[in-house]
Structure 1
């Protein structure tokens, strides 16, 4: 039986607040998630930030942040509009908003394969911890008066049931890529189709690229050998037609997900630029 390919219009999704272990000023629209409690879990969102800051901290998962509107600060650095940021597991960083911004945000397992907590599980655990202790300024203060710890660490340890452990990050600092400085490489087998590969990270091959399909052109695409391949329309309009199934509309900021074995044809009504993310293997 043919499997349908999920197409999501984020405009139809509801905004969700941040977890209790972080302050307000940030909202999410969950576009796609993996299976809660299962290996290779992930969270792919449209994120809106106003006033927001965190203490210097690190995670045991990888992150990608694609700035759609506005910019965002990380300590002394600023990730500008249009850029793609890779934030590796184990790497310390600090967040501080530079004004309103909107971005695409992916969190997924890192090279250490530590479990990635689903948003709902994280919120539930944070709510339970808040009943006996206190979250303040990104830190968790235990009820016994012991030293506070990072809010994320407190939540993760309460769910997984063991102390968190970090390995040395694969790179020395977050990587901020400027897609406009990369060149498209034409597909010799598909006229009007080109790809701009931005990077592949760690031995698990988390990959990010931009696929361009000229007006009136058609691209045959298939899922990467990964738990899922995620697509987000950066610009343009067109249709997505699964190997077996009906055509679906694609428009600005729509998203779709392909699972292993999925194949489809994308036709551009107006030149399409698709962000393409291959999840860690």
Structure 2
């Protein structure tokens, strides 16, 4: 089990491959190279942040905490709302409203295809390497001069340019499983009792793809105890409200917790609490033994 307190992390920039200013508080990171690698962080998008219409070869979950997170024309994630951006799905262009900063929680992770997720270390190092041969303008990488270096594409989406420079091959996208990003309004879902105990409530928000990507919320009354059922994949928990303990560790509002596959996790609330729960995709052992072969099978 991993636990990180948000108040102990500092706001930093990872790279500037998009336009304007955005900062992150790194909370938890997964295993680089694994198909379920992930990056869980708080993000702060400032009023000048922009990004062109684009797509990713990984999945992304965003939760609004304050302000409006724009992800397209007349499309904003408000506090308490959740956006699921599946791999291969276009969205954007993004532009924050004038004088409108926002803060949210974001999980970027390898999607059901098994293509994985480029780590923040790789992203940062790739960004600095490309800055030696070009510039990033409003989310687009532009090479210096008329002839780009071998293997570097001129006027390319910033993330795509970095990914290809890091991996040394063209980026691949799967056929989108959904017709658009999924915008969830958790307040419209009903709470359900667990084991006829009204002190422990769960709000299932959805299970996505053949890899059982799960989203839910759990509400615990003061003094309530909840033991998560065992799960074959990683489960991420973020405390939106409250405080308590888990397996001998203390958590408060803003705590992020990774529960490993098949790990027991017993939560005890010392005050009323609200938890966001995200189950990462579940891969069978034969899916992760040879990621390269798995990619070829999907091509």
Q: Which TM-score applies when normalising by structure 1? A: 0.91
Flag structure 2 segments of 5+ consecutive residues without an equivalent.
Answer: 283-299
Q: Which residue of 2 aligns with 1:118?
A: 119
Q: Which residue of 1 aligns with 2:95?
A: 96
Separation (CA, whole Å) in 2 of partners of 1:37 and 1:131? 26
Q: Which residue of 1 aligns with 2:288?
A: none
Number of equivalences: 271
Alignment root-mean-square deviation, CA:
1.6
| SS in structure 2 at match of 1:16 | coil
Q: Which residue of 1 aligns with 2:71?
A: 74
Separation (CA, whole Å) in 2 of partners of 1:264 and 1:91? 34
Once structures 1 and 2 are overlaid, which stretch shifts more, 137-146 or 172-181?
137-146
* Contact preservation (8 Å) 2:242, 2:269: yes
Q: Once the 2 structures are TM-superposed, how far is the Cα of residue 222 of structure 1 from its aligned partner?
A: 4.3
Q: Once the 2 structures are TM-superposed, how far is the Cα of residue 190 of structure 1 from its aligned partner?
A: 4.8
Once structures 1 and 2 are overlaid, which stretch shifts more, 78-87 or 183-192?
183-192
Once structures 1 and 2 are overlaid, which stretch shifts more, 22-31 or 179-188?
22-31
Query: Which of 147, 153, 166 is matched with 1:159 structurally?
Result: 166
Q: Once the 2 structures are TM-superposed, how far is the Cα of residue 147 of structure 1 from its aligned partner?
A: 4.1
Query: Which of 19, 30, 43 is matched with 2:26 structurally?
Result: 30
* Contact preservation (8 Å) 2:202, 2:219: yes
Flag structure 1 segments of 5+ consecutive residues without an equivalent.
Answer: none
| SS in structure 2 at match of 1:21 | coil
Q: Which residue of 2 aligns with 1:180?
A: 187
Q: Once the 2 structures are TM-superposed, how far is the Cα of residue 270 of structure 1 from its aligned partner?
A: 1.4
2:7 paired with 1:11:
yes
* Contact preservation (8 Å) 1:184, 1:196: yes
Q: Which residue of 2 aligns with 1:40?
A: 36
Separation (CA, whole Å) in 2 of partners of 1:260 and 1:166? 27
Deviation by residue 1:119-167 (Cα, 9 ceiling, x = unmatched): 1111101111110122111111134256411011111111111111212
Separation (CA, whole Å) in 1 of partners of 2:154 and 2:56? 19
* Contact preservation (8 Å) 2:71, 2:91: yes
| SS in structure 2 at match of 1:192 | strand
Separation (CA, whole Å) in 2 of partners of 1:25 and 1:92? 22
| SS in structure 1 at match of 2:223 | coil
Q: Which TM-score applies when normalising by structure 2? A: 0.86
Once structures 1 and 2 are overlaid, which stretch shifts more, 83-92 or 258-267?
258-267
